[in-house]
Structure 1
């Protein structure tokens, strides 16, 4: 499918034409499509749920392989040891998988409810939310190694997971991975109780102490409620959900750098000696960018006026803005281009750096574009 517009395949709703678009619904079809592009020397972009990338308005001139494989198998041979193995195809819708595991009393994924996208993308980004991430449950990832032209499986340890990153992400350039994910195997616990609640906001919603457990069904319900309130569950009529989710990662900085911030700036353990994790949302809001920044309202004299900081700055004409529910999401309000979304993100990143001296970095992959 030459010339297919990629905007309709992404949750942000932006992206120009593909040179060639190939759909691959099985492991062999994925390998064949990737190998054909490599044999032809064409640039390659892997796409599935389209929830974690911004594709430029110029599009992608090479081959886009859209992974549509789905389904999973459950091996409960190890149930006597208190767990099950769930092997999941790369194109499987993530939240459908999470819902299944919760309904069948497999614990470990419940706090990751409502995250849009495909299962194959989760190990690349080490997807996480509400105090947990997929590195805590992934056993192995099966991939196609484009360099050696062979199947390559990685153990959890070999994936070298970090905060929103992995070996798979670190070996991906402009959306073109060395290792193409074919399937992911999770090791999950058995029982209707979820894993310990590590996130204070979720613990409050469940009315349990941090570190205690709650029924996985209840955890899923509250996570979906919290995410929906932030515009983080896909809902086409709600323009706040036309985004890549959180656009910026929480910065991890040396403690000396964080010491210059106001005392009320949130700080969290970073898992690295001498470093702390900061809240990107706090930095954005305290640099003066409110929810809805970039939207236009009518002022008393009838002229457009910015609804928040930046009235004297060029924005996207109201086509793109920060979410009205959550300052971490850059949203397509209708008719936005990739450059509109990036323009809002640049203003925010520049403003945070000007105010606090800390540069925010994008979480989604930026394809043929940059901040």
Structure 2
């Protein structure tokens, strides 16, 4: 174990207090570490890519178990990855090998094991669309087993694994298209860039390259030299408003903005609104609150909260509260943070 390690050095937001870290280079070591710490009653924080975490500036209690198992194995129509494998490296390997399916999820930072927890999605594709199974460690019994997607309760950016500590993801398996065709293109901007109609497919390699370009233009591909990428990606999820509240929300928006075209999308149990659109219309421009602030909205994308080089977790929290409360005051919609928070409350 290593003591007094600043988590700010390991998270994509570049914030986080000091912690004792147990680094687990393989799955067997990960299982053994979690079992031993649980048996001793030591608090455990599971940590892999650090891309979806907002950690307090205070010392982190217990032990941070860093998941570093990185194996990736291709099958005839599938890929299996250890939980600690870099997610974009997994996607890149499948595309280079001539497979399609995961290309729309290119450029997303973090680990493979985190993808089913969050039901990660982008450009019209979600993990739940392609996941075959997940290998879990049951912390109550100490046993490991594979589970099917139907057991994970997937929803928009959520699953039964999220905000729960009873299971540890050890590995994931995804279905692939051996023809090399992409998943059907469901995101209009992406389809237009590729000269395709929505629902058509294109070669996975071309889709991956286009997705990476789109993400880079929004500061959503990690670059140590670009503070717009010192973030946790999209900080708020797109809010889903229940059917019985939709008319009131629409009326509130029009009362503030007049007769505008409001971006809306069908969703289970309601209507999904664009968080980025709401943030901008609530008066928060790119780069808010200004060039001297330690934490600012990205200069490329209002949905990302960024560390400009010297921000602490408290600065990110204060900015998140300001944006969330501003949208709620103006439109009556409360945005939900996407990152997992440790030791802080927004």
What TM bracket, shorter-length normalisation? over 0.9
Kindly provide the CA deviation profile for residues 292-344 of structure 1, in whole angstroms up to 9, marking residues without a partner as x.
Answer: 00223xxxxxxxxxxxxxxxxxxxx5111000000000000011000101111
Secondary structure of 1:21's counterpart equals strand
For residue 72 of structure 1, report the CA deviation from its aligned partner: 1.3
Alignment match, 1:331: 306
Deviation at 1:208, TM superposition (A): 1.0
Structure 2 match to 1:15: 16
What is residue 257 of structure 2 aligned with on the other side? none
Aligned equivalents of 2:169, 2:175: Cα separation in 1: 18
- Contact 2:101–2:181 (8 Å) recurs in 1: no
In structure 1, C-alpha distance between the alignment counterparts of 2:162 and 2:6, rounded to whole Å:
25
1:351 alignment counterpart: 326
The ranges of structure 1 where at least 4 consecutive aligned residues each deviate by more than 6 angstroms after the TM superposition are none
- Residues 74 and 94, structure 2, Cα contact 8 Å, conserved in 1: no
**SS in structure 2 of the partner of residue 86 of structure 1:** strand
Partner Cα separation in structure 2 for residue 191 and residue 100 of structure 1? 15
Q: Which residue of 1 aligns with 2:169?
A: 181
Q: Secondary structure at the match of 1:370?
A: coil
Q: Gaps spanning 5+ residues in structure 2: where?
A: 255-259
Within the candidate set 230, 237, 248, 1:249 is matched to 237
The number of residues matched between the two structures is 336
Secondary structure of 1:189 counterpart? coil
Deviation at 1:14, TM superposition (A): 0.1
- Give the corresponding residue for 1:132: 125
Give the corresponding residue for 1:150.
143
Tell me the distance in 2 between the aligned counterparts of 1:195 and 1:39: 44
Give, in angstroms, the shift of residue 59 of structure 1. 3.3
Instruction: State the partner residue of 1:51.
Output: 51
Within 1, Cα distance between the matches of 2:242 and 2:72? 42
SS of residue paired to 1:28: helix
Q: Which of 208, 212, 216 pairs up with 1:220?
A: 208
Match of 2:37, SS state, is helix
Residue 290 (structure 1) aligned with residue 291 (structure 2): no
Q: Is the 8 A contact 1:231 1:325 kept in 2?
A: yes
Unmatched segments (≥5 aa) in structure 1: 77-83, 297-316
Q: TM-score, normalised by structure 2?
A: 0.95
Cα separation, 2, equivalents of 1:134 and 1:29: 26
* Kept after mapping to 2: 8 A contact 1:6/1:59: no
Residue 295 of structure 1 contacts residue 319 of structure 1 at CA under 8 Å; is this kept in 2?
A: no
**For residues 290 and 257 of structure 1, what CA distance do their matches in structure 2 show?**
27
1:114 CA displacement: 0.3
Name the residue aligned to 1:95: 88
Is residue 2:265 matched to residue 1:276?
A: no
Q: Contact between 1:295 and 1:320, CA under 8 Å: does it hold in 2?
A: no
Among 154, 166, 171, the alignment partner of 1:161 is 154
- Distance in 2 (CA, whole Å) between partners of 1:366 and 1:103 is 35
Is residue 107 of structure 1 aligned with residue 100 of structure 2?
Answer: yes
Structure-2 residue corresponding to 1:310:
none
Q: Give me the whole-angstrom Cα distance separating, in 2, the residues matched to 1:157 and 1:59.
A: 38
Distance between the aligned counterparts of 2:203 and 2:47, measured in 1?
34
